[in-house]
A = this chain, B = another copy of it.
Amino acid sequence: MSHNRIHNFNAGPAALPTSVLEEVQESLLNFKGSGMSVTEISHRSKQFDDIINDAVERTKRLLKLDDRFKVLFIQGGASMQFCMIPMNFLGGNKSADYVDTGTWSTKAIKEVEIQGKKINVVASSKDKNYSYIPKGISFNKDAAYVHLTSNNTIKGTQWASFPDTNNVPIVSDMSSDIMSRPLDMDKFGFIYAGAQKNIGPSGLCMVIIREDMLSMVPDDLPSMLKYSTYSSKNSMYNTPPCFGVYMVQLVMKWLEETIGGLEKMDAINRKKGETLYGFMDSSDFYNATAEPDSRSLMNVTFRLPSEDLEKKFIDEAQKNGLGGLKGHRSVGGCRASIYNATGQDAVDALVDFMKEFEKKNG
């Protein structure tokens, strides 16, 4: 661990590649010989144009986006998208289908209801405390879109594949698994992702929008709440979150040049998941909380035999250089977030620690 860095299992803001952080560090007083910090250059400069255009182009290559898709950077996190999505896509008398897989989709649903827009909650896993991803859902053919949360950071569930929606575009919150695997983009009309888990710091949200979705945007929305404002100005109608865009650019470069693309990233993530879930399945001491076919490869949630042992586990792990293992305050327990930047070495170190802890306390 260079720079005395710990293994970081935070749920977000979360681990970023050390090489990215080193490059950011170098640019903080003098960015590429400009004599200015990367935080001090104008967003109307050639330097920043290069940053944002490279971030967009790398995103397009990584996800194999064709020319129908625009990549935007919007502030306010995924939570702002919860309200912007119905505002932009449910004009007139339209309605949308939502799947409720817990916390984040529940919040997304609430923000549609606040606006008095029409909505059908077509499936929910609330009956089993959101521990699984619903299957065999009937979607409405006339829905403007189908909304789903691809990965639930709190309950540790993830859609292993995306459902057939009768060509209704999927609108997906991918805050916690964007860029963790390749996507079949034919199914998606709109993807959004708060950056602070897999692709950058907090303070910006990546939005991928298919151009036909832009035609649904009503004219009379405030400028900053309309997707067309962002798409017509390359996300620079007003000053964008420049530092965040810069970090996203570097993370995309790392994904392309160091990792080698999303197929490779996916393979790495699968191996990490197998290591951790595989170990827990062989143990009676640790219990993964999500149903096996709905397990998240990003957020591994688990319980120990008692809350006292969980507290001891989290504290001792921290002392052993394994940070951020506490479960979300709404559910308790333990959680290891193993996003892209948390490597196999971190997972191996965690499993070693878990074995040792079980031996002493089991």
- Residues in A lying within 8 Å of B, measured CB to CB: 1-6, 8, 10-16, 18, 21-22, 24-25, 28-30, 33-37, 39-44, 75-80, 82-83, 87, 110-111, 114-115, 194, 196, 201-204, 220-225, 237-244, 247, 321, 323-324, 329
Contacts and interface: CB of A to CB of B under 8 A. Distances in A.
Contact of A28 (B21, B44, B220): B21
Contacts of A18: 29
Nearest to A15: B40
Contact of A201 (B5, B12, B242): B242
A36 B222 contact: no
Given A16-B40, A203-B204, A223-B79, A25 B29 contact: yes
Given A75-B203, A77-B239, A203-B243, 9 more contacts: A10-B42, A15-B40, A18-B29, A36-B323, A76-B76, A79-B223, A202-B239, A203-B204, A203-B242
B39 A247 contact: yes
Contact of A29 (B13, B21, B76, B110): B21
**Chain B CB within 10 Å, residue with most, of A79, A240, A329:** A79
B323 A13 contact: no
Given A16-B39, A42-B11, A323-B36, A238 B111 contact: no
A247 B1 CA distance: 26
A217 to B, nearest CB: 13
12 contacts: A5-B29, A10-B40, A15-B40, A35-B321, A42-B324, A82-B222, A202-B239, A202-B243, A203-B242, A203-B243, A203-B244, A243-B244
Given A77-B75, A241-B202, A243-B201, A39 B21 contact: yes
B114 A36 contact: no
Contacts of A243: 201-203, 243-244
A222 to B, nearest CB: 3
In order of increasing CB-CB distance, the 9 nearest A-B pairs are: A203-B241, A6-B35, A83-B222, A75-B75, A79-B238, A3-B29, A39-B201, A25-B28, A202-B239
B22 A37 contact: no
Contacts of A244: 203, 241, 243
**Chain B CB within 10 Å, residue with most, of A3, A14, A21, A115:** A21
Nearest to A22: B29
Given A37-B16, A222-B83, A43 B3 contact: no
Contacts of A241: 75, 201-204, 241, 244
Contacts of A78: 238
A44 B329 contact: yes
Contacts of A329: 44
